[in-house]
Amino acid sequence: MAIARFLVDSTVATRLSAPWLGDDFPIGTLAVNLSGAVVLGVFAGAALSGTAYTILAGGGVGTYTTFSTWMLESHRAGEDGDARVLWANIAGSLVAGLVAVALGHWIGGLL
């Protein structure tokens, strides 16, 4: 899963940008974490439980997404004095993450 995380992060970071936030916004990490939230929501919405859920959610999605990188990138934005990137990364990740997991949960419920 680490390879998938790297590929998604680097591909998104080189192809997309958030011009209103500048070049330092960690859009690749955001894409990884939001896609992971959708997948985790699908598993929950599909009512997976027990061993299957533990393996897929914890072992799969848990190793794909990256809380620590999100926090480090937010910290660095704060250290650099870039409050716009700092708060956009924190608030954007939280709000979009809740929407992503809700979307995944809805999709999982359809399965």
Q: Which of 13-22, 72-81, 86-95 has the lowest mean pLDDT?
A: 13-22
User: How do residues 40-54 score in pLDDT, each as one tens digit?
Assistant: 999 999 998 889 889
Name the band, by pLDDT with cuts 50, 70 and 90, for residue 69: very high
Q: Determine the pLDDT at residue 18.
A: 74
Reading the block at residue 87, the tokens are 């708060």
Whether residue 21 has pLDDT greater than 90: no
Q: Determine the pLDDT at residue 16.
A: 87
Question: How far, in Å, CA of 1 to CA of 30, rounded?
Answer: 16
Query: Is 103 exposed, middle or buried, given 0-12, 13-18 or 19+ CB atoms closer than 10 A?
Result: middle
Q: Give the CA angle between residues 19, 24, 26 to the nearest 5°.
A: 95
Residue 104 · residue 40 · CB < 8 Å = yes
